[in-house]
A and B are shown apart, each in its own frame.
Chain A
Amino acid sequence: MSLFKPRKLIEYAAMAAIWVALILLFGSLSHNFLSSRTFLTLANRIPALAVVSVGMTLVLVIGGIDLSVGSVAGLCGSLLGVLVLNCHMPFWEAVVLCLIMGLAAGTANGLVSVCLNIPSFIVTLGMLEVARGLAYLVTNSQTKYIGGAVEGLSEPVASFGVSPAFLITVALTIIGQIVLSRTVFGRYLIAIGTNEGATRLAGINPVPSKIAVFALAGLLSGLGGVFLTSRLGSADPNVGVGMELSAIAAVVIGGTSLMGGRGSVINTFFGVLIIATLDAGLAQIGASEPAKRVITGAVIVAAVVLDASRQRLATRLAQSFNVVKRNANTAAPTSPN
Chain B
Amino acid sequence: MADAPLLEVTGLEKSYNVPVLSDFNFDLLPGEVHALVGSNGAGKSTFARILCGLTQRDRGDIRLNGRHHNPGSKRDAEHAGVIMVLQELNVIPTLSIAENIFLNRLPRNGGFIRYNNLHAQAAKALARAGLEGVDPATPAGLLGVGHQQLVEIAGALSQDCRLLILDEPTAALSDPEIDKLFENVRRLQSEGVGIIYVSHRMDEIRRIANRITVLRDGRRVATHKVGDVTSTELVREMAGHDLPERKQSARATGPVALRVNNLKAGPRVRGVTFEARHGEILGIAGLIGSGRTETLRAIFGADPKESGEILIDGKAVRIRNPKDAVQAGIALIPEDRKQHGLLLSQSIRVNTTLSSISNHASAGWLNADAESQTATAQCQQLNTRCHNIEQVVGELSGGNQQKVVIARWLARDCDVMLFDEPTRGIDVAAKDTIYELLRGLAAKGKAVVVVSSELVELMALCDRIIVMSDGRIAAEFLPGNWSQETITKAAFSSYLTESEGATAL
Contacts and interface: CB of A to CB of B under 8 A. Distances in A.
A230 to B, nearest CB: 32
6 contacts: A184-B361, A184-B364, A190-B343, A201-B334, A261-B343, A322-B390
Given A203-B325, A322-B388, A337-B369, A198 B340 contact: yes
Given A200-B321, A200-B322, A191 B350 contact: yes
Interface string A321-337: 01000000000000011
A182 interface: yes
Contacts of A262: 345
A262 B350 CA distance: 13
B371 to A, nearest CB: 9
Contact of A197 (B325, B340, B366): B340
B365 A202 contact: no
Interface in B397-440: 408, 412
A185 B344 CA distance: 19
Interface in A178-194: 182-188, 190-191, 194
Contacts of A190: 343, 346, 350
Contact of A1 (B302, B326, B355, B368): B368
A2 interface: yes
Contacts of B332: 201
Contact of B364 (A183, A199, A261, A337): A183
B332 to A, nearest CB: 6
A141 interface: no
A286 B322 CA distance: 59
Contacts of A2: 366, 368
A188 B360 CA distance: 13
Given A200-B322, A203-B323, A205-B321, A183 B408 contact: no
Contact of B365 (A182, A194, A200): A182
B345 A204 contact: no
B21 interface: no
Contact of B339 (A198, A199, A200, A322): A198
B358 interface: yes
A261 B326 contact: no
Contacts of B325: 203
Nearest to B342: A198
B91 interface: no
A38 interface: no
A32 interface: no
B408 A182 contact: no
Q: Indicate the member of A190, A201, A322 with the most B CB atoms within 10 Å.
A: A201
A195 interface: yes
Contacts of A184: 357-358, 361, 364-366
Interface bin, chain B: 20 to 34
Contacts of B365: 182-184
B381 interface: no
B231 interface: no
A201 B323 CA distance: 8
Interface string B314-358: 000000011101110000101000011111111000100011011
Interface in B85-104: none
B10 to A, nearest CB: 33
Interface of A: 1-2, 182-188, 190-191, 194-195, 197-205, 261-262, 322, 336-337
A262 to B, nearest CB: 7
Contacts of B350: 187, 190-191
B422 to A, nearest CB: 15
B339 A197 contact: yes
Nearest to A257: B345
Nearest to B408: A202
Nearest to B302: A201
Contacts of A199: 343, 354
A177 B368 CA distance: 15
The 7 closest A-B pairs by CB, nearest first: A203-B326, A194-B343, A202-B354, A202-B355, A205-B323, A184-B361, A203-B355
A201 B322 contact: yes
Contacts of A186: 366
A261 B346 contact: yes
A198 B390 CA distance: 19
B479 to A, nearest CB: 32
Contact of A191 (B341, B354, B361): B354
Nearest to B297: A201
Contacts of B302: 200-201
Nearest to B332: A201
A194 B346 contact: yes
Interface string B145-169: 0000000000000000000000000
A187 B340 contact: no
A197 B341 CA distance: 8
A272 to B, nearest CB: 25
Interface in B377-400: 388, 390
Contacts of B326: 202-203
Contacts of B358: 184
A104 to B, nearest CB: 24
Contacts of B388: 322
Nearest to A323: B387
Contacts of B355: 202-204
Contact of A183 (B340, B342, B366): B366
Given A185-B364, A187-B350, A202-B355, 11 more contacts: A182-B365, A182-B366, A187-B357, A191-B346, A197-B339, A198-B339, A200-B321, A202-B408, A203-B326, A204-B355, A262-B345
Given A201-B332, A203-B322, A204-B323, A195 B343 contact: yes
A197 B321 CA distance: 12
Contacts of B339: 195, 197-198
